[in-house]
């Protein structure tokens, strides 16, 4: 989607913004008319002074808030007053700060690590695979790959392999490149787009779950003289912008950020195949996991179930084999659920992996966000932001008119109290 072309939703919001501007301006004109009329009839009635003071203060409040709101997006009345047209003038600075904000608040190692640990990832996965329906879905995919291999395997050879060689083979095998090749295959073609869509949904979940953190950060980072309503408007704009960007990434496979993230994934897959650091982590993980009783029991029970299924249905392995794999997957999930040490190790691996990704590629995502915003036209950027939050900002003008009028009425009433007291209670 071209940035300077408005969507139907934005065009509708643009019409709503225009209507709110007319309402706020109309209220200013009404107060001006009331003020002129009050001046004309000044001295005719005793209460006319209250009307005049109210209208006068309402005009001042309306004009002040009109200036404040307009100064965010353009120079009021075309006058190049300092510290006006803030958004178009400081777009690149905002882009850089927004990229830093995303990196510090979304792509921080501690933030992601805390989120992963709070999700209890291994327990969730274990609980998921412990469900019969989910285990059946896994078994269906595994069976398709195992069918050809099973036909050429001899039971005695496999038993000997499990008893004498499997641990040694696991220790000597570098799984990272294999995982890299497997993930390359899994993420090829349409599967890559499907996985990316799932990742975007996770991003939307994290965005929603970080609501209070974003709100407090916006309040802390904006100037002290910004009204709280502007803080809220900026907060809503940030959330809507990120959400909009995620939705655009989900729907547009040629979105620049989506293309760049795909490139980053490919770089990560390349690291899996060739990085010495990942290879060292793999060795440590294998040593830890192979010493776990739950892992040893799982390996033995997996072969027992598969061998029993093959012995019973060597000619027709589908039903029994699939059921055996289902049971093994469920048992593995239950082993994780019942073994806090194994669960902690898997969570630690997930945490280390996430930290590695953030540490290695987080700054590139932030830089991509900054460069993307910097490439936008300043005037169009300002207009699009105004379309999104301008309707809410018009309420500031309306509130300024009302509050100004009430303030004027209050001040005038206080100033008239001595005269009223002398009138009703002469000393």
Query: pLDDT by residue (tens digit) across 144-160?
Result: 666 656 666 665 666 65
Residue 284: pLDDT over 80: yes
Distance of alpha carbon 283 from alpha carbon 174, whole angstroms: 8
pLDDT at 115: 78
Distance of alpha carbon 34 from alpha carbon 203, whole angstroms: 53
Distance of alpha carbon 195 from alpha carbon 391, whole angstroms: 37
Say if residues 42 and 4 touch (Cβ distance below 8 Å): no
Query: Which residues neighbour 68 within 8 Å (Cβ) at sequence distance 6 or greater?
Result: 227, 396
pLDDT at 164: 64
Length of the chain, please? 427
pLDDT at 314: 45
Of the pLDDT bands very low, low, confident and very high (cuts 50, 70, 90), residue 299 is low
Contacts 24+ apart (CB under 8 A), 194-203: 196/249, 196/250, 196/258, 196/261, 196/262, 197/250, 200/246, 200/247, 200/249, 200/250, 201/250, 203/246
- CA 416-418-423 angle, to 5 degrees, is 95
- 374 vs 401, residue with greater confidence: 401
- CA 96-98-102 angle, to 5 degrees, is 120
Distance of alpha carbon 17 from alpha carbon 354, whole angstroms: 42
DSSP state, 47?
A: T
Nearest alpha-carbon partner for 96 in 335, 413, 371, 388: 371
Residue 303 CA, distance from chain mean position: 43
Distance of alpha carbon 230 from alpha carbon 233, whole angstroms: 5
What's the rounded mean pLDDT across residues 177-185? 80
What is the per-residue pLDDT across 56-86, written as a single tens digit (0 to 9) for each? 999 999 899 888 888 877 778 777 878 777 7
pLDDT at 60: 92
Of the pLDDT bands very low, low, confident and very high (cuts 50, 70, 90), residue 117 is confident
Of the pLDDT bands very low, low, confident and very high (cuts 50, 70, 90), residue 212 is low
- 401 vs 186, residue with greater confidence: 401
Residue 29: pLDDT over 90: yes
Q: What burial class does residue 106 get, using C-beta atoms within 10 Å of its C-beta: 0-12 exposed, 13-18 middle, 19+ buried?
A: buried
What's the rounded mean pLDDT across residues 176-201? 76
- Which of the residue ranges 3-17, 123-137, 362-376 has the most confident prediction, judged by mean pLDDT? 123-137
HSE-CB at 83 with a 13 A cutoff on CA atoms is 3
Nearest alpha-carbon partner for 143 in 322, 344, 345: 322
pLDDT at 315: 47
- 310 vs 327, residue with greater confidence: 327
pLDDT at 348: 84
Task: Read off the pTM.
Answer: 0.42
């Amino acid at each position: 989607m071209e940035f300077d072309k408005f969507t139907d939703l934005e065009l509708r919001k643009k019409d709503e913004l225009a209507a709110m501007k007319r309402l706020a301006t109309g209220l200013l004109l009404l107060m001006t008319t009331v003020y002129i009329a009050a001046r004309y009839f000044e001295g005719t009635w005793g209460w006319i002074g209250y009307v005049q003071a109210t209208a006068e203060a309402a005009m001042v409040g309306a004009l002040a808030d009109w200036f404040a709101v307009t100064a965010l997006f353009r120079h009021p009345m075309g006058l190049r007053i300092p510290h006006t047209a803030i958004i178009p003038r400081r777009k690149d600075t905002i882009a850089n700060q927004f990229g830093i904000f995303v990196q510090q608040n979304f792509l921080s190692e501690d933030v992601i690590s805390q989120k992963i640990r709070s999700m209890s990832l291994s327990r969730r996965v274990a609980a998921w695979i412990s469900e019969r329906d989910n285990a059946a879905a896994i078994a269906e995919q595994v069976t398709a790959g195992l069918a050809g291999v099973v036909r050429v395997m001899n039971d005695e050879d496999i038993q000997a392999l499990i008893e004498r060689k499997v641990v040694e083979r696991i220790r000597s095998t570098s799984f990272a490149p294999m995982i890299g090749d497997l993930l390359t295959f899994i993420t090829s073609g349409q599967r890559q787009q499907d996985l990316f869509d799932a990742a975007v949904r996770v991003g939307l979940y994290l965005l929603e779950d970080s609501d209070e953190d974003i709100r407090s950060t916006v309040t802390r980072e904006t100037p002290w003289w910004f009204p709280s309503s502007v803080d809220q408007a900026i907060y809503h704009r940030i959330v809507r912008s990120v959400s909009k960007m995620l939705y655009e990434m989900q729907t547009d496979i040629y979105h620049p950020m989506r293309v760049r993230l795909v490139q980053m994934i490919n770089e990560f897959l390349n690291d899996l195949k060739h990085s010495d650091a990942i290879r060292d982590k793999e060795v440590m993980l294998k040593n830890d996991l192979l010493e776990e009783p739950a892992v040893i029991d799982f390996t033995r029970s997996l072969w027992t179930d598969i061998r029993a299924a093959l012995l019973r249905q060597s000619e027709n392995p589908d039903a029994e084999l699939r059921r055996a794999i289902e049971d093994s997957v469920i048992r593995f999930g239950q082993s994780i659920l019942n073994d806090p040490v194994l669960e902690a190790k898997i969570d630690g691996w997930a945490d280390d992996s996430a930290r590695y990704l953030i540490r290695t590629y987080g700054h590139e995502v932030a830089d991509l966000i900054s460069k993307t915003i910097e490439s936008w036209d300043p005037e169009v950027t300002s207009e699009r932001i105004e379309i999104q939050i301008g309707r809410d900002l018009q309420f500031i003008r309306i509130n300024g008119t009302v509050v100004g009028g009430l303030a004027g009425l209050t001040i005038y009433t206080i100033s008239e109290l001595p005269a009223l007291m002398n009138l009703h209670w002469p000393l």
